[in-house]
Amino acid sequence: GSVEVLASLNVRTQPRRDSPIIGTLAEGTVVNLNYCTMATDGIWCRASFGTETGWLAKSALRQNEWPIVTYRVTPPAP
């Protein structure tokens, strides 16, 4: 599906926050998502950018006017 980036967003090589950054998307950029998956730190979506493919945190995307994600993943209590 086609979604809009809510804020400046890092594009990563893998679906996790500690993965290397391969680029940044500006707020308002519209991207086409290929696939979304649940990772240890939240939901991530894969998108293509020309010849590159990268991963975006789903919490920073929206479809139409509504946020897709409205929760925050927190680590379990020890």
Q: What is the Cα–Cα distance from 43 to 61, expressed in whole angstroms?
A: 11
Q: What is the Cα–Cα distance from 48 to 4, expressed in whole angstroms?
A: 14
pLDDT attached to residue 68: 45
pLDDT attached to residue 35: 86
Q: Is the pTM of this model over 0.85?
A: no
Alpha helix ranges (H) inside 19-78: none
Residue 32, CA distances (Å) to 16, 70, 76 in order: 19, 21, 33
Q: Write the pLDDT tens digit of every residue in 8-58.
A: 889 999 999 899 999 888 888 888 888 888 888 888 989 887 678 899 888
pLDDT attached to residue 60: 73
